Amino acid sequence: MLKFLFQRLIIYWQKWVTFNITSQRWLLSIAPIKLSGAFITGLCLSFLFAACTANNASNTTNVSANNPTQPKASLVRIGYQKSAILLKSKGLIEKRLQPEGVSVEWIEFPAGPQLLEAMNVGSIDLGHTGESPPIFAQAAGAAITYIAGITPSPANSAILVSKNSAIKTVNDLKGKKIAFQKGSSAHYLLVQILEKYGLKYSDIQPKYLPPADARAAFVKGSVDAWSIWDPFYAAAEKSTDARVLIDGTGINKQGGYYLASKNFANQQPEIIKAILEEIQNLEQWSAQNRAEVATTLSPLLGIDLETMQKSTNRRNFGITPITPELITLQQQVADKFYELKLIPKQINVKEAMLTPEQYAAFSPKNQ
């Protein structure tokens, strides 16, 4: 690179001298200029340093949230799961961002782990998951960060067995095949339930399957139980003769998180603030209008209204700021998965958090 800069500098110098000789006749009287090697080398090194500095600056991800020179994004790509389809259907984020010249693209995922994989490779900017997917993603080196918490809904996830199953208690799960999405909230629910009832993770046969495949395996009877969340849980109750062995009541303490890529979180705090405000407004409206929520979601999800009402009524609505208490709970999740050797290394969840000042710039306020 130094040789290339040296050659370009000589060419530019020659052009400058030629231009001045042509346009300024008095320069003809000037004796030929001999540049010293040290002078040329110094200039080249200066250009080289400037080029490298510019390159490093363009690749840095730690951009200040208050950087006034950072241009606003023209597109925000939101990953979502079926449980958040109401937000997409209402079009509230589009209405909020359109006057600012920002368009919205929605991409659906079967579960949180797939959503965060897409975020890590730059396919989406933000989305929501349960508490477990961020742990697996961080352990794999994903550049993600937490931007808000989700109010827990312990009763909207459960372990299901068939109505005629001989499994009557949690202890009957010993030695049984249990289907669930690896690295999902259903995974951690199962871990917590087993621990509460004195069973080890090694006591069961895990079958790592995304929701659609897990449902198929459950219906065929190729697995003995299924750990799952709504709306899949509600649909299975209605149409697969499923029986609830146990739900998350008294066990689940977290409702999940909204996350963003580190670059997007650092560079677009105003967009994140607008999005979180619209989410919070919809959550507050939903808590007061459960019947309308169920009526809207029923045709969108292909679930009959009665079942959708049941699912809606067991959900708690709301989002919360990232607090020290949430960070502590999330660290416990990380430690448990590492203890079970389900993630390759121990992680510090604080490394995936923003600064208090950054959170203050866009976090939802508790109401």
pLDDT in tens, 283-325: 999 999 999 999 999 999 999 999 999 999 999 999 999 999 9
Place of tokens 């689940």: 252
Using DSSP bridges, classify how beta strands 225-229 and 157-162 pair: parallel, antiparallel or unpaired: antiparallel
pLDDT in tens, 106-161: 999 999 999 999 999 999 999 999 999 999 999 999 999 999 999 999 999 999 99
Give me the numbers of helices (H) and strands (E) for the chain, helices first please. Answer: 15, 11
The C-alpha atoms of residue 318 and residue 286 are separated, in whole angstroms, by 9
What pTM does this model have?
0.79
231-243 core/surface letters (b: 16 or more CB in 10 A; e: else)? bbbbbbbeeeebb
Q: Rounded mean pLDDT of 209-214?
A: 97
pLDDT given at position 95: 97
- Count Cβ atoms below 10 Å from residue 88 Cβ, excluding itself: 16
pLDDT given at position 55: 35
Kindly write down the DSSP assignment for every residue of 134-157, as one continuous string: HHHHHHTT--EEEEEEE---GGGE
**Which secondary structure element, helix H or strand E, spans residue 305, and what is its range?**
helix 305-313
Write the DSSP symbol of residue 83.
G
Residues 6+ apart with CB under 8 A from 149: 254, 255, 256, 257, 258, 319, 320, 321, 322, 323, 326
pLDDT in tens, 48-69: 333 333 333 333 333 333 445 5
Q: Which 3 state secondary structure label does DSSP give 92?
A: helix
pLDDT given at position 191: 98
* Residue of higher predicted confidence among 81 and 39: 81
Share of the chain above pLDDT 90, in %: 76
pLDDT given at position 70: 67
* Residue of higher predicted confidence among 290 and 47: 290
pLDDT in tens, 350-359: 999 999 999 9
User: 297 with 312: CB under 8 angstroms?
Assistant: yes
Residues 6+ apart with CB under 8 A from 142: 116, 117, 119, 120
pLDDT in tens, 242-265: 999 999 999 988 899 999 999 999
